[in-house]
Amino acid sequence: MSYVAKPGGASSTKRAPKPSLLSREGLHIFLARWRHSGFAYVFNILLTVVIALTIWSLISSLITNPGRYLPSPFVVALSSVDVFYKGLLPAYYGNTLTRLVLGSILGLSLGVPFGLLLGLNRTVSDMFYPIMNFFQSVSGIAIFPIIMIWWGNSEKTVFIVILYTCFFPIAFNALSGVRGVPLTYVNAALTLGASPFQVVKDVLLPGAMPNIATGTRLGIGFAWRAVIAGEMLVGREGLGWMIFTARSADLTAQIILGMVTIGVTWIILDHYLLRPFERSTIEKWGLVLR
């Protein structure tokens, strides 16, 4: 924590008169502050986005019939006004996010305890380890066909696949997290008088936390892909459905808009929620020395 510059943190202390920005020293200080400020970070991102958009526009202006093959960013932005106006995008976006959030919450609340429970006993965890490893590797998209046979083209089908997709990575990582907690930690707690429940609460759960965080990030990442695929395959209203149906009407701008929404949503979710969660546990646990 101590190495992270906090915005405004330094300003409260009194310091010597500032060297002029025009002096060499002043410029160095300015550059160093700039590099550590949030602005530099945002600026770099913006720069990358601008470069990407420029390349995209260029390609789009060079090809024939860009409206069908690759509409320019401007046209895509215009189409977003259109779908927003019709209320299509907000509604579909809401549907898709709701599926993801509900599926993830349920996946977490089932997967973490399940993984922990299996991890408690060595024999049980040895037995389940390969099975859990198996299922966490069979992707959500791969189980769609069989779930569709069982439950048809229903909301249930989509939801079960989302749940499946995040449950297994989360449970599997919780399981391997518990297995990785050193026995000495458990023994130390026992000799402090901990009950089995307290051992789980104070040692095994926090000890498995970095793995659980990793599993959560993985699981939700997979689930996000599964929701989109699921909406297409099963035909439920949502972002995936929007880009799928847009294809039959040759609404390429709408397809791209959907893709951008999917990607940007993930970046925001990952950057502001999942990664900080993962990093904070890993750092606090001292697994990575800064």
Contact positions vs other proteins (CB under 8 A): 182, 184-185, 187-195, 198, 202-203, 206-207, 209, 281, 284-286, 289
Structure tokens at 54: 């420029």
Which residue do the tokens 């943190």 mark?
9
Structure tokens at 156: 């249930």
The DSSP secondary-structure symbol of 274 reads I
Query: Residue 182 CB, nearest distance to other proteins (Å)?
Result: 7
Which is closer to other proteins, CB of 89 or CB of 209? 209
Which is closer to other proteins, CB of 73 or CB of 206? 206
Query: Residue 213 CB, nearest distance to other proteins (Å)?
Result: 12
Query: Residue 32 CB, nearest distance to other proteins (Å)?
Result: 25
Query: Residue 287 CB, nearest distance to other proteins (Å)?
Result: 8
Which is closer to other proteins, CB of 83 or CB of 209? 209
Query: Residue 84 CB, nearest distance to other proteins (Å)?
Result: 45
How far is residue 106's CA from residue 154's CA, in Å, rounded to a whole number?
18
8 A C-beta contact, residue 239 and residue 258: yes
Which amino acid is located at 271 in the chain? H
Which is closer to other proteins, CB of 87 or CB of 286? 286
Query: Residue 95 CB, nearest distance to other proteins (Å)?
Result: 38
Query: Residue 208 CB, nearest distance to other proteins (Å)?
Result: 11
Helix 205-234 × helix 88-120 angle, to 10°: 140
How far is residue 208's CA from residue 194's CA, in Å, rounded to a whole number?
18
Sign of the CA dihedral with 238 first, then 240, 241, and 242 last: positive
Structure tokens at 228: 């989109």
How far is residue 93's CA from residue 88's CA, in Å, rounded to a whole number?
8
Query: Residue 188 CB, nearest distance to other proteins (Å)?
Result: 5
Which is closer to other proteins, CB of 162 or CB of 178? 178
Which is closer to other proteins, CB of 65 or CB of 123? 123
Which amino acid is located at 217 in the chain? R
Structure tokens at 101: 């959030």
Greatest C-alpha distance within the chain = 75
Which is closer to other proteins, CB of 209 or CB of 229? 209
- Select from 162, 182, 161, 174 the least CA-distant residue to 132: 174
Which amino acid is located at 150 in the chain? W
CA 117 to chain centre: 25
Which is closer to other proteins, CB of 203 or CB of 227? 203
CA 193 to chain centre: 39
